Each structure stands twice: as C-alpha cells, then as structure tokens.
Amino acid sequence: MIKKILIANRGEIAIRVMNTCREMGIQTVAVYSEADYSSLHVSYADEAYCIGPAPSAESYLNIEKIIEVAKKTGADAIHPGYGFLSENAKFSQRCKDENIIFIGPAPYAIDTMGDKITARKTMMDAGVPVVPGTKEPITDLDDAVKVIKEIGLPVMVKASAGGGGKGMRLVEKEEDIISSVKAAKSEALSAFGNDAVYVEKYISSPHHIEFQVLADNHGNCVHLFERECSVQRRHQKVVEETPSPIMTEEVRKEMGKHAVAAAQAVNYSGAGTIEFITDDNLNYYFLEMNTRLQVEHPITEEVVGLDLVKEQIKIANGEKLSFKQEDLGQRGHAIEVRIYAEDPDNNFMPNPGKIEHIQFPLGPGIRNDTYVYNGFEIPIYYDPMISKLVVWGANRSDAIQRMKRALKVFKINGVKTSIPFLYQIMEVESFVKGRYTTHFIQNNEQELKMRADCNMECAEIGTIVAFLDYMNKREAKLSSINEESASSKWKESGRKFRFLI
C-alpha cells in the first residue's frame, strides 16, 4: 500500500495531488526549485526539499535528484503531475529500477504514444481512425512536395515529438511547402531535440474533442466520456467543457470505444487522454494520446463524480477499477477556464509579477484549482498559469451563467490576467450557442478584444483600489501582531521543512 507520495511538480497540480493524498491518509513530499521557495506547494506538503536552481532542467527535470529525495524520504511512489517529467519514459523506468511506484503508465506506453509517428502506426493497426497523412517521417524535401500534393493542401506539418502546441505548421500554398517543412524541422529540433516531422491533412472546421480513459493492471479499461477543447490560442487550450455541445449519443459511444481500443493497444495503465480532431459532421480522427493526468481533468471529475487522482493512486496500488463502463454517466455540465498572468492587450505575452491582492469567487458549483496567494510573486521561469477556474451547472446555460458570475468577482491586483478576455468568451454568440471550432478566438478577435476593453468600468476600478488599500493596511497590521505567535506555532507543529544536502 502506498503510504507516502513524492510529487514531482509544482504549482496548482502539486496542490491538487496533495489534496487527494490527504483525504486518503497518504503522506506527501514536495520538491521545489530555488525560485519556488515561497510557493504554496512547499508549505502545503508534509515535507519539502529543494532540488536545485530555478531553470527546470536543473530542478523539476532533474531525474536523479528527484529519485534521491524519494529514496531518502522513503516515498513509495512518485506522482509526476502534467508537463515536466510526466511523459518521460526514462523517468518511469528509473522509478521502476528503484522500486518506486511511478503513478502513470509503463515506459513502453509512454514511448509508443510520445512519438506521434509511432502512435499513428499503432492506432492504424488497432483500427482507430487517424488523420489521413504520412506513415513515415519526411526526410527529403522533394519528397515532401510530392507527398503533400498527393494528400492535398491544406496540410499540417507536425513534429513527431511535439507537445504543448509546438512544432506545428499549417501549409496552405504549394510555394510554402519547403519553407514550412524546414521551419517545422528546426523548431522541432530546438524544442524537442528531435527533428522528425510528418504530414497530416488539415481538417477544416476542426473541433478538438478528447476522451478520458482509466485502465487498471488487470485488463479493465473504461472511458469517462469527452471534453470539448476547441477554444484554443496558438494550438493551446483556453476553455474546456463537458459534455461537448456538438456530441451525439451515437458518436459518443463509438468514439468512447475507439478511445478504449487506443489505450488497450499500448497495454495502458492509469489515467490517460485520447485526443481526437473532428470535423463539423463529427467524422473523427486520432490526434495523440497524453499519457498522464490532463490539465483539464477537473471538468470530467465534476460531471462524472470521480476523483481522478484517487483513481490513479488506487490503480498504482494494484487495485481493480471499482466500476464498469455501464456504471458511469455524465451529470450536468462543467466548464474550465485557464487563468493566466498574461496581457491580452499585448499579444497575450506572459506578465509575471507580484500578486498584490487576490479575491477568489465562492459559492455553489465553483472550484478554483490554484496555488497563488496575496503577496506571492509569480516566478518568471515557469508556465504563468494562476488558476483553473471550474464551474458545474445543471445544464450548459446554467454553467455559462455561473462562470460569468465567478469571473466577475475574481479579482487579481498586481499582474495583468486573461480574466476579462475569458469573460468575453462567455458572451460571444457562437460560444453561447455551442457552435464553435478551433478558429473561435481568431474568428472573434475583434469582438473579444473590444468587449474586454469596455468590461473595465471606471467606477468599479475605483472601488477596488480603495478596497485593496484598506485590505493591505489591515493585513500588514494583522501580520505584525501575529508574527510572533505564528512562528512559535510553526516550531511546535514539528513539520519537517529542510534542504537536502
């Protein structure tokens, strides 16, 4: 039985995992970089250890250091979260070698799905529809022109090792083929250290619809229905919802079966996501599999009524799934928005800095997965996501109303955020009607920006500034009063908090 878990991650996901550990009576070990000394995940864990300097390559990606902390603290398992080492087959293998449970799939599944060309071939053999395109990497530029003409423009040139929306080029004109292939190759090499690229037919009017799967180590595999993630910017998700507003019961059943077949084709274990691209007629094609917990997993939790981290831990413990496909259903509607420290008026450039004051929305149906607090300085080294705001409603329009209420009262002072922009998304007609594609933000850019500007009411800003000023003064006073008693409590609690030398 797992008694202690090291969380090899930071930010909201580290805290998310620790919350479930607490409910299960499992001890938690945090690791952190020097830049994260005052991060909430550090004080949230039962134990916390510094593993190196700020750059990820020297801390959160340092496999040996993380393994060393796990061994010294006697952690029986490691949860990798998402990003960082979560899809690193070497890390999964190193854990195995050290008799530490990796809360995720075996190295074989990560490797097969991590390379998109290999994944496509595996899916074809398993009878899962893939986007029409090349089976092998493009090596010769003349070949590229020939192959792309055969597939028919427009196409996507994609990095086989790609992820996070990087290493992708849309090619619409014949004269752009060679330069696009070259550009995709060099971007892939610098981002992933691997320049293999392949070609996919560009699906027009695309919808990104993905299926959550769960598989145990006893041959059982179920899907937890779909998530619609078509509101994207630079091929990265901005808003996610479930159920998908364009899904039909018939297609859901079929896609769900294919998602399970995809996972079983690599003998999958744990929680994973099969991403599909679909057209307006709900013809669907496998895009990729993410062999980890997904950023947007909370919307599935809200609608299906399961704790996915708990399921991951139970599977890692060797338990059988405690439900069958026919036991599962979707109840109500959930939406997630990713709130970033970024400037919508400056091309969404990251805008890290100090959070002077933050006010979270409260009330029925609201969940806020976050790691920031008043006075927290968002480090410049990592993804500038502040919070994942998730709402649940009895139906889609209730959920949209609830999201608007939540975003209206969600105040962050000190850094610019995407909150006004996200609010506007909830008002655009095609979103409200549920008729949108991955081009949604691009197609509505002017409206989204224009409205975001007028959302800022001067009167409201004045009230906030006055309120913040009052709060800051009050907090300064309270903290000076409490400082002494707080520090003695800290000592008494006996919490282990130290550097590992």
Contact residues: ligand ADP, CB under 6 A: 82-83, 131, 156, 162-165, 168, 192, 200, 202-203, 206, 208, 232, 235-237, 275, 277, 287-288, 290, 294-295, 383, 438
Angle at CA of residue 328, ends 325 and 332, nearest 5°: 150
Q: Which does 83 bind (CB under 5 to 8 A by kind): Mg ion, ligand ADP, none?
A: ligand ADP
CB of 11 to ligand ADP, least distance (A): 9
CB of 473 to ligand ADP, least distance (A): 37
Amino acid at 68: E
Q: Point out the residue whose Cβ comes nearest to ligand ADP.
A: 163
Q: Indicate the residue among 54 and 471 with the shorter CB distance to ligand ADP.
A: 54
Taking the least distance from each CB to Mg ion, the nearer of 195 and 275 is 275
Spatial distance between the Cα atoms of 173 and 448, rounded to a whole number of angstroms: 29
Tell the smallest beta-carbon distance from residue 460 to ligand ADP (Å).
32
Contact code string over 249-288 relative to Mg ion, x by CB under 5 A: --------------------------x-------------
Distances (CA, A) of 408 to 225, 266, 329, 372, 421: 30, 44, 31, 19, 11
Distances (CA, A) of 461 to 61, 279, 404, 467: 41, 43, 18, 10
Q: How far is the CB of 296 from ligand ADP (least distance, A)?
A: 6
CB-closest chain residue to Mg ion: 275
- 275/369 with CB nearer Mg ion: 275
| Buried/exposed 399-417: b ≥16 CB within 10 Å, e otherwise | bbebbebbbeebbbbbbbb
DSSP string, 176-227: GHHHHHHHHHHHHHHHHS---EEEEEPPSS-EEEEEEEEE-TTS-EEEEEEE
Instruction: Give the shortest CB-281-to-ligand ADP separation in angstroms.
Output: 15
Nearer to ligand ADP, 285 or 423 (CB): 285
User: CA 426, CA 161: separation in Å to the nearest integer?
Assistant: 34
Based on CB atoms, which residue is closest to Mg ion, 74 or 164?
A: 164
236: partner contacted, choices Mg ion, ligand ADP, none (Cβ within 5-8 A by kind): ligand ADP
Q: Which residues contact 164 (CB under 8 A, 6 or more apart)?
A: 83, 236
Compare residues 270 and 379 and give the one whose CB is closer to Mg ion: 270
Tokens 């060099």, located at residue: 186
Catalytic-residue membership of 292: yes
21 binds, among Mg ion, ligand ADP, none (CB under 5 to 8 A by kind): none
Torsion angle (degrees, nearest 10) of CA 438, 443, 445, 450? -130
Binding partner of residue 341 among ligand ADP, Mg ion, none, CB cut-off 5 to 8 Å per kind: none
Smallest distance from the beta carbon of 136 to ligand ADP, in angstroms? 17
Verify cis geometry, omega within 30 degrees of 0, for the bond prior to 154. yes
Both tokens assigned to 339? 């709130």
Q: Please tell me which residue in 120, 169, 292, 396 is annotated as part of the active site.
A: 292
Q: Say which entry of ligand ADP, Mg ion, none residue 206 contacts (CB below 5 to 8 A, set by partner kind).
A: ligand ADP
Question: What is the token pair recorded at 331?
Answer: 């109840």
Contact positions vs Mg ion (CB under 5 A):
275
Annotated catalytic sites, by residue?
292
